[in-house]
């Protein structure tokens, strides 16, 4: 037995995560700290097995249904990869090719796609309140159908980004940090700047920064949230992040200065997002079908954005951080890079390019985060199952 | 060995279904009664294995090609599920992304997608005569290519709905009834109302009611077909249903009164469809490219429909049936539900909601119907193969 | 052990193809003659195993990512089939559903889709220079990400057609000829006419004829390239084909007469393509966004084409060949057939129909060509791995 793998299993054995079995993964804040820790460990254990060419298939057959209500490359491939790693076949619910528009209820569609679905992954991040509501309804629907004896099992859900949270992204972020710093406990006391940055586009989701402040504070990191006035996140979540910080004995500060947030930071995560109030307004305008209003709002927001073009992650700003240009810079990608994807954006090309490998490594954890969430939802005894997989020792990639 | 499973195999051993091997499943009326019985038993046996977490993979690799020429959710997922259950990977032939429009013959496309296709599933239900003709041509094409030594095997076809028949749907319906009533023999003498119902949309396929009258009469059920004057089904099929009824010693009646059909019924299946004559006319108009004519026909049909808004499955009508509101109500879904998917539709919300679980269970058999059809087309000795699968005892979902 | 299979392995053991491991397959001319021979042998060996119902899965899990920047049926299904045969799950990168348009770099997208991708297949054949450049950039990107420790393996590339080469097609062509003539050595001295033919459409890629002249000359066939004046292929490739012919001691001639090329030919391969100069011009017009210019060019090219409607593979022309109507006629399909897919096209229906079976057999080798390329890129010791697969003897299609 591999010693690193063995250490994972030992650590895992000390945690209580029994409620994850047969449950969903919709928000990190639905989970206990033990459960999150278990999820990171299982992700690393699965990666360890794959890198040793040991198959981690726990399904001989079964579908992993995805429903992307917004474009996606990274998360789409992470879901396809993570589910394939466990033996499932991805099947996309393309609502435009289905009869969903036919007035069918969520409960009905959810049941119809679930007869042989072991997991359902959903991205629905466009409108405030809607993504979370939709996922909850799907979850309750399949739960109901399972209790009613229609489904012989309960397909579990994984959020692939809602309007409030992006758990597979922030979990990949955590896994990257854990592996970079050499352990979850090493993150305690690290200073992180979660900051807004300028983007020439409009209406970017709030879920990434929200997911981060809610997660980093739980593991004892000193988080500074920075954005221009008016670019608030959802107030409930900001309040809860403060509570998490208090509970874990770290700090959670807010500021309207990017420079202040960068000052002495060990990790910087600058990214654009839309003001919460504007997103609420947009949701109402869409509901009312007011396209003139939507256009007007878009113009206003772009104009407002344009007054904050100085919110860019430049080499000068990086100099203010704990380790200068070597300070960890993170982004969920794709970033708006000055002179590459746009004229002025979230980050200077020089900074992005210097951190490219780190950014890509950060992304490389997402398939494992997905697989880990599912694994914990599907394996009654994860320690025993992981051990059995190692003992089974089936080659993922067979070479004589 | 599981006693229920054993009973399935014993029953199966008494039937003659040898001609299903290496053959297609395009219409239920192409099949003998023994063959249909075998298909129901194998569906139940596969379900039994899956519910006992025993893998039913008979393919290590191989494609299941689908071609959906009309929208689909249920059947798309049933085909993906049923083929995945057997170990095949679904591959959709998206004609818009292919070179099919390039003037390529059906024979050529059919051969080109078949080099490693074990099964081909086709939905083509929009125009009278076309779906059946297309499937026949695909079948003959791959047969020819197999005989000519181009294909090393013969991919078999499964109809996922044509303009005349919807065999995977009506087979799911039969499986539901068999399991609800406790056996195929228990269905004999049951009174079934297959009736038209009002829908605010237009041009719904005839294949569902046709599939039902052709199937239920073969198994000794007393079928009443009800629709407003002018909403005839294909006359040949109606005539054949009468013959089937005679052969199996049951009755097949026609009426223009929904209430009459519901009177004393054990099972009611109200659903909208378009008049056969109008569908024939529409096919001609499309062929002639007469879009003004098509629009005019649509308006006429909608107006004609609107004179029959009283054809709705209401609580009052349900009271006329054998068991009142508890009488089995069936629908292939999605239904036009009053106040849910439309203002006035096929069924009152109260009735639909009361029968929701039954309706969803009905749908749950479709993946198994698909898998069973394919299994019988691919296993030379189904009894031995099913027994071997149980003995192999490989877990579908592995847990240590 | 099967004697034919054994012969393949013995032959394979004599060749040096070690550099194929962990490498790409972008052009046939990147490969040594030994490497190409190995690829043909492995394709035949995989086909031999499959036809004996022996599983050739070397992957328990893993993705095969495809990116089709142009329509495809044959190659799409060949890639899905060939990768499925090895155990991989195809995952299409649909750029329209991704965030690629978001200004993301090729390097980033390539890395993001590759965390669990074992192979990437790309079709990009529309614009001169672009397809090759894109594939090269993807290859270098994943190589870089692998070296930088971001990817735990190096996904290898297979070209599914660029603007210069169509290696899976020409490899299928070679496999067909090898199997028809009974061995690669039997092809030496055979006379092949690679000729242009009239098509009512415009802008067909040059990659098919280029791929052929570059390949056939390497294996000692006497190649005549025929096209109307002005329909030149890329000059570098034509020159290189001449060098190949010299090296292998055969002839490579050019002519502007279809009849001359057919004279005494053992194999004829008539197909339409666009003039190289016009394709270069078109690429520039697209780059400049000059849609009026593009329309004008299209009209000019169609008019130019129309002056060469006599370039059609007729029964009369076939009479000039070595074996008259029985001389091998090849085409990558779909062909423009007179009176079938168009009024006047590349080939008379009579000729096409007489050769239909051969044409379809030609196509049947493409999935094996794809699988063989990947196999050699993924198996360090292909002989040992093939032998082990035969010994493992797992059924692809399980029947008790």
Buried b (16+ CB within 10 A) or exposed e, C74-101: bbbbbbbbbbbbbbbbbbbbbeebbbbe
Q: Which of B56, B78, B396 sits opposite A59 (nearest CB)?
A: B396
- What tokens were used for B19? 């001609």
For residue A120, give the DSSP letter: E
Is residue B97 over pLDDT 70? no
Q: Which residue in the block uniquely carries the two structure tokens 């006391």? A: A189
- Provide the residue count of chain A: 400
pLDDT for B154: 96
Q: Does C61 touch chain A (CB under 8 A)?
A: yes
Q: Does C151 touch chain A (CB under 8 A)?
A: yes
- What tokens were used for C361? 């057999």
pLDDT band at B104 (very low <50, low <70, confident <90, very high): confident
- C378 sits in which H/E element: helix C366-378
Taking only the tens place, the pLDDT of each residue in B16-61 is: 999 999 999 999 999 999 999 999 999 999 999 999 999 999 999 9
Taking only the tens place, the pLDDT of each residue in A152-174 is: 999 999 999 999 999 999 999 99
Instruction: Name the residue with higher pLDDT: B70 or A109.
Output: A109
- What tokens were used for C213? 């002249």
For residue B321, give the DSSP letter: S
Orientation of helix B33-51 relative to helix B382-392, angle to 10°: 0
Taking only the tens place, the pLDDT of each residue in A371-383 is: 999 999 999 999 9
pLDDT for C202: 82
Taking only the tens place, the pLDDT of each residue in A5-36 is: 999 999 999 999 999 999 999 999 999 999 99
**What's the mean pLDDT in A268-273?**
98
* DSSP-derived 3-state class of residue A306: helix
Is residue A88 over pLDDT 90? yes
CB pair distance less than 8 Å for C334 and B102? yes
- What tokens were used for A400? 């004589």
DSSP assignment of B296-316 equals HHHHHHHHHHHTTTT--B-HH
ipTM associated with this complex: 0.95
- What tokens were used for A299? 């113009």
Residues in chain A with CB shorter than 8 Å from the CB of B74 are 99, 112
DSSP assignment of C28-65 equals GGGS-HHHHHHHHHHHHHHHHHHHTTB----BSS-EEE
Radius of gyration of chain C (CA): 21
Query: How far apart, in Å, are the Cα atoms of C53 and each of B59, B303, C389?
Result: 10, 58, 11
Mean pLDDT of the residues in chain B: 95
DSSP assignment of C195-233 equals EE---SS----SHHHHHHHHHHGGGT-EEEEE--TT---
CB pair distance less than 8 Å for B61 and C342? no
How many Cα atoms are found within 13 Å in the side-chain-facing hemisphere of B172? 28
Measured between CA atoms, the residue of chain B closest to residue C361 is B150
Instruction: Name the residue with higher pLDDT: A71 or A55.
Output: A55
Topology annotation, domain B3-165+366-392: Rossmann fold (3.40.50)
Q: Which of C59, C99, C387 sits opposite A400 (nearest CB)?
A: C387
The size of the A-C interface in CB pairs under 8 A is 123
Other CB atoms within 10 A of residue A305 CB = 22
**What's the mean pLDDT in C138-154?**
97
Domain boundaries, chain C: 3-165+366-392, 169-363
Q: Which of C157-171, C230-244, C273-287 comes out lowest in average pLDDT?
A: C273-287
Measured between CA atoms, the residue of chain A closest to residue C145 is A357
Q: Which of C51, C78, C399 sits opposite B152 (nearest CB)?
A: C51
How many Cα atoms are found within 13 Å in the side-chain-facing hemisphere of B154? 20
* DSSP-derived 3-state class of residue A308: coil
Outline where C127-219 has alpha helix (H). Answer: 130-147, 167-181, 207-216
The Cα B103–Cα B222 span in angstroms is 48
Measured between CA atoms, the residue of chain A closest to residue C150 is A361
- What tokens were used for B300? 């006429």
pLDDT for C102: 61
Q: Is the dihedral of CA B44, B47, B51, B55 positive or negative?
A: positive
A399–chain C nearest CA distance, Å: 6
Q: Which of C67, C150, C381 to mutate to test binding with chain A, by most A CBs within 10 Å of its CB?
A: C150
pLDDT band at A335 (very low <50, low <70, confident <90, very high): very high
pLDDT for A98: 60
Measured between CA atoms, the residue of chain C closest to residue A345 is C103
The Cα B139–Cα C18 span in angstroms is 44
pLDDT for C3: 95
The Cα C274–Cα C280 span in angstroms is 10
Q: Which residue in the block uniquely carries the two structure tokens 């070597």? A: A326
CB pair distance less than 8 Å for B99 and C400? no
The Cα A14–Cα C54 span in angstroms is 45
pLDDT for B102: 60
Three-state helix/strand/coil letters over B100-132 = HHHCCCHHHHHHHCCCCEEEEEEECCCCCCHHH
Q: Does B102 touch chain C (CB under 8 A)?
A: yes
pLDDT for B71: 84
The residues near A175 (Cβ < 8 Å, ≥ 6 apart) are A40, A43, A44, A365, A368, A369
CB pair distance less than 8 Å for C103 and A56? no
> In this prediction, what percent of chain B has a pLDDT beyond 70?
98
CB pair distance less than 8 Å for A388 and B367? no
**Kindly report the CA angle at B208 between B205 and B213, in degrees rounded to 5?**
130
Is residue A93 over pLDDT 90? yes
pLDDT for C398: 95
Taking only the tens place, the pLDDT of each residue in C204-234 is: 999 999 999 999 999 999 999 999 999 999 9
CB pair distance less than 8 Å for B364 and A150? yes
Residues in chain A with CB shorter than 8 Å from the CB of B51 are 152
Q: Which of A113-127, C94-108, C219-233 comes out lowest in average pLDDT?
A: C94-108
pLDDT for A99: 57
The Cα B3–Cα B86 span in angstroms is 23
Query: How far apart, in Å, are the Cα atoms of A139 and each of A136, B368, C244?
Result: 5, 24, 64
pLDDT band at C368 (very low <50, low <70, confident <90, very high): very high
For residue C101, give the DSSP letter: G
Beta strands C117-124 and C156-162 are parallel
Measured between CA atoms, the residue of chain A closest to residue B343 is A103
Strand order in the sheet with A267-271: A252-255, A222-226, A191-196, A267-271, A328-329
pLDDT for A252: 98
Topology annotation, domain A169-363: Rossmann fold (3.40.50)
The residues near A304 (Cβ < 8 Å, ≥ 6 apart) are A230, A275
A335–chain C nearest CA distance, Å: 8
User: Is the pTM here over 0.90, yes or no?
Assistant: yes
CB pair distance less than 8 Å for C116 and A85? yes
**What's the mean pLDDT in A219-243?**
97
Query: If we measure between CA atoms, which residue out of B351, B305, B359 comes closest to residue B326?
Result: B351
pLDDT band at C325 (very low <50, low <70, confident <90, very high): very high
Q: Which of C116, C138, C153, C377 to mutate to test binding with chain A, by most A CBs within 10 Å of its CB?
A: C116
Q: Does C135 touch chain A (CB under 8 A)?
A: no
CB-count exposure of residue A67 (10 Å: 0-12, 13-18, 19+): buried
Residues in chain C with CB shorter than 8 Å from the CB of B151 are 364
pLDDT for C141: 97
pLDDT band at A400 (very low <50, low <70, confident <90, very high): confident
Query: If we measure between CA atoms, which residue out of C38, C55, C41 comes closest to residue C8?
Result: C41
Mean pLDDT of the residues in chain A: 95
Any chains having at least 3 CB pairs less than 8 A from chain A are: B, C
pLDDT band at A118 (very low <50, low <70, confident <90, very high): very high
Q: Is the dihedral of CA C341, C347, C350, C351 positive or negative?
A: negative
Any chains having at least 3 CB pairs less than 8 A from chain B are: A, C
Buried b (16+ CB within 10 A) or exposed e, B115-137: bbbbbbbbbbbbbbebbbebbee
The Cα C114–Cα C92 span in angstroms is 12
Is residue C101 over pLDDT 90? no
A12–chain B nearest CA distance, Å: 16
Residues in chain A with CB shorter than 8 Å from the CB of B55 are 60-61
The Cα C308–Cα C226 span in angstroms is 13
Is residue A178 over pLDDT 90? yes
Q: Which of C97, C119, C149, C390 to mutate to test binding with chain A, by most A CBs within 10 Å of its CB?
A: C97
For residue B260, give the DSSP letter: H
The Cα B204–Cα B276 span in angstroms is 10
The Cα C27–Cα B113 span in angstroms is 25
Q: Which of B105, B113, B116 sits opposite C85 (nearest CB)?
A: B116
The Cα C271–Cα C331 span in angstroms is 7
Q: Does B344 touch chain A (CB under 8 A)?
A: no
Task: Check if A3-165+366-392 and A169-363 are the same fold.
Answer: yes
Buried b (16+ CB within 10 A) or exposed e, A154-186: bbbbbbbbbbbbbbbbbbbbbbbbbbebeebee
Measured between CA atoms, the residue of chain C closest to residue B64 is C81
DSSP assignment of A174-201 equals HHHHHHHHTSGGGGTT-EEEEEE---SS
> In this prediction, what percent of chain A has a pLDDT beyond 90?
91
Residues in chain C with CB shorter than 8 Å from the CB of B111 are 360, 363
The Cα B113–Cα C82 span in angstroms is 12
Q: Which of C60, C334, C355 to mutate to test binding with chain B, by most B CBs within 10 Å of its CB?
A: C334
**What's the mean pLDDT in B166-194?**
98
Is residue A313 over pLDDT 70? yes
CB pair distance less than 8 Å for B357 and A61? no
Q: Is the dihedral of CA B34, B37, B42, B48 positive or negative?
A: negative
Residues in chain A with CB shorter than 8 Å from the CB of C113 are 73, 77
Q: Which of B218-227, B347-356, C285-294, C306-315 comes out lowest in average pLDDT?
A: C285-294
Query: If we measure between CA atoms, which residue out of A64, A62, A61, A60 comes closest to residue A76?
Result: A64
CB pair distance less than 8 Å for C399 and B387? no
Q: Does C106 touch chain A (CB under 8 A)?
A: no
Q: Which of B63, B115, B388 sits opposite C364 (nearest CB)?
A: B115
Report C:351-370 residues touching B (Cβ under 8 A).
357, 360-361, 363-364, 366-367
Is residue C103 over pLDDT 90? no
Mean pLDDT of the residues in chain C: 95
pLDDT for B147: 97
The size of the A-B interface in CB pairs under 8 A is 123
CB pair distance less than 8 Å for C59 and A87? no
Residues in chain A with CB shorter than 8 Å from the CB of C105 are 340-341
Other CB atoms within 10 A of residue B375 CB = 26
The Cα A76–Cα C94 span in angstroms is 11
- What tokens were used for B13? 């051993």
Buried b (16+ CB within 10 A) or exposed e, A339-375: ebbbebbbbbebbbeebbebbbbbbbbbbbbbbbbbb
**What's the mean pLDDT in B358-374?**
98
The Cα C21–Cα C379 span in angstroms is 7
Q: Does B116 touch chain C (CB under 8 A)?
A: yes
Q: Does C18 touch chain B (CB under 8 A)?
A: no
Taking only the tens place, the pLDDT of each residue in C339-350 is: 999 999 999 999
Taking only the tens place, the pLDDT of each residue in C164-213 is: 999 999 999 999 999 999 999 999 999 999 999 999 988 899 999 999 99
CB pair distance less than 8 Å for A84 and C62? yes
């Amino acid at each position: 037995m591999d010693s690193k793998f063995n250490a994972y299993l030992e650590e895992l054995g000390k945690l209580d995560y029994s409620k994850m079995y047969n449950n969903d993964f919709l928000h990190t804040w639905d989970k206990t700290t033990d459960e999150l820790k278990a999820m990171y460990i299982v992700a690393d254990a699965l990666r360890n097995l794959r890198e040793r060419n040991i198959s981690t298939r726990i399904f001989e057959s079964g579908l992993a249904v995805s429903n992307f209500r917004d474009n996606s490359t990274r998360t789409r491939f992470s879901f396809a990869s993570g589910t394939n790693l466990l033996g499932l076949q991805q099947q996309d619910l393309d609502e435009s090719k289905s009869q969903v528009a036919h007035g069918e209820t969520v409960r009905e569609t959810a049941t119809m796609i679930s007869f042989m679905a072991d997991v359902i992954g959903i991205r629905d991040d466009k409108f405030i309140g809607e993504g979370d509501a939709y996922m909850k309804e799907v979850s309750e629907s399949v739960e109901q159908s399972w209790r009613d004896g229609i489904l012989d099992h309960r397909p579990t859900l994984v959020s692939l980004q809602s309007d409030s949270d992006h758990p597979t992204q922030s979990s990949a972020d955590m896994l990257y940090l854990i592996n970079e710093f050499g352990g979850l406990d090493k993150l305690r006391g690290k200073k992180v700047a979660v900051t807004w940055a300028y983007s020439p586009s409009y209406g970017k989701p709030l879920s990434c920064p929200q997911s981060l402040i809610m997660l980093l504070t739980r593991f004892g990191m000193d988080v500074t949230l920075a954005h221009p006035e008016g670019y608030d996140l959802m107030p409930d979540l900001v309040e809860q992040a403060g509570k998490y910080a208090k509970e874990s004995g770290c700090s959670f500060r807010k500021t309207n200065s990017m420079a202040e947030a960068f000052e002495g930071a060990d990790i910087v995560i600058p990214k654009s997002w839309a003001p919460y109030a504007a997103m609420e307004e947009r949701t109402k305008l869409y509901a009312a079908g007011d396209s003139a209003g939507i256009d007007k709002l878009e113009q206003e927001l772009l104009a407002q954005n344009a007054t904050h073009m100085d919110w860019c992650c430049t080499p000068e700003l990086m100099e203010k951080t704990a380790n200068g240009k070597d300070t960890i810079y993170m982004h969920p990608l794709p970033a708006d890079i000055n002179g590459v994807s746009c004229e002025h954006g979230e980050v200077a090309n020089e900074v992005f390019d210097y951190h490219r490998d780190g950014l890509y490594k950060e992304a490389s954890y997402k398939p494992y985060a997905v697989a880990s969430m599912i694994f914990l939802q599907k394996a009654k005894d994860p320690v025993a199952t992981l051990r059995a997989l190692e003992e089974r020792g089936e080659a993922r990639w067979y070479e004589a």
